[in-house]
């Protein structure tokens, strides 16, 4: 979150840097990985670990696709 705040501040000050919309898939995949870790630490059923991991994969692939297209 600190890195995102720094990138947004940099863009606001200089007008350069990634668009805020471009940061969403990265933030989403990170959040989902943290949720999966929390579920694992809490010793929840495997479904509660697998779902956020799968969704993190999807958002990560979306992020890669955006970067590949140069957006």
Token duo for residue 2: 């600190």
DSSP class of residue 15 equals: S
Token duo for residue 5: 């705040």
- Per-residue tens of pLDDT for the chain, all 71 residues: 788 888 889 989 998 988 888 889 989 999 999 999 999 999 999 999 999 999 999 999 999 998 898 75
Q: If residue 11 lies in a helix (H) or strand (E), which one and from where to where?
A: helix 2-14
What CA–CA distance (Å, rounded) separates 7 from 33?
A: 21
Are the C-beta atoms of 59 and 25 separated by less than 8 Å? yes
Which residue shows structure tokens 């940061």? Answer: 23
Which residue shows structure tokens 């297209």? Answer: 69
Q: Identify the pLDDT of residue 71.
A: 58
């Amino acid at each position: 979150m600190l890195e995102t705040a720094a990138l947004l501040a940099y863009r606001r000050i200089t007008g350069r840097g990634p668009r805020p919309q471009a940061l969403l898939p990265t933030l989403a995949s990170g959040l989902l990985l943290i949720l999966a870790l929390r579920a694992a630490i809490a010793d929840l059923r495997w479904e509660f670990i697998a779902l956020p991991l799968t969704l993190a994969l999807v958002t990560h692939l979306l992020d890669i696709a955006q970067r590949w297209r140069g957006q």
